[in-house]
Amino acid sequence: MITLASLDQFKSLYRDGRKWNRCVEAIENIGNIQPNVFHSVGDSLAYRLQHGPSKADEQFVGHRRYFDVHYYLAGSETIECADKSALTSALPYSDETDREYFTGTGQPHRIEAGQMVIFENHQAHRFSAADNLEKVVLRVTIEDGYFLNK
């Protein structure tokens, strides 16, 4: 899990690459979208505004084809993260959902408003507590701007 202090830090570190620029475009568009409805920018990014509390997850979730990027607008959330290799598989990978589920324990991280996190594909994560949460949830393809299967 990569934790960034701000959107400005994200813009500085990830300024190269169309998919990262689309993340910024999506974040800057959040005033124009309904909460909890997915939208897309091109074929490499889907995003939504999450408003309200997250439910605590029992299992870790991991991805293979997409990165999860979360930008925290308000509130805070505790996220537990671990390498997939250190966890036990609970449900195998599904190509249809790009999800696989794990059990075990990981390192907890408290994320506050203004911060961003990028969940790397060799890791899995679960959410355990949220307070007054508002965040932008982005699903970004691992490919550079296109899908290999199209």
Domain extents in the chain? 2-141
pLDDT digits over 83-115, tens only? 999 999 999 999 999 999 999 999 999 999 999
Taking residues 3-14, what's their average pLDDT?
A: 93
CATH class of 2-141: mainly beta
pLDDT for the residue numbered 150? 36
The residue among 63, 50, 60 whose CA lies nearest residue 139 is: 63
Given a cut of 50, is residue 82 above it in pLDDT? yes
* Radius of gyration (C-alpha) of the chain in whole angstroms: 15
Given a cut of 60, is residue 148 above it in pLDDT? no
Calculate the alpha carbon distances from 135 to 71, 75, 107 in Å. 5, 9, 21
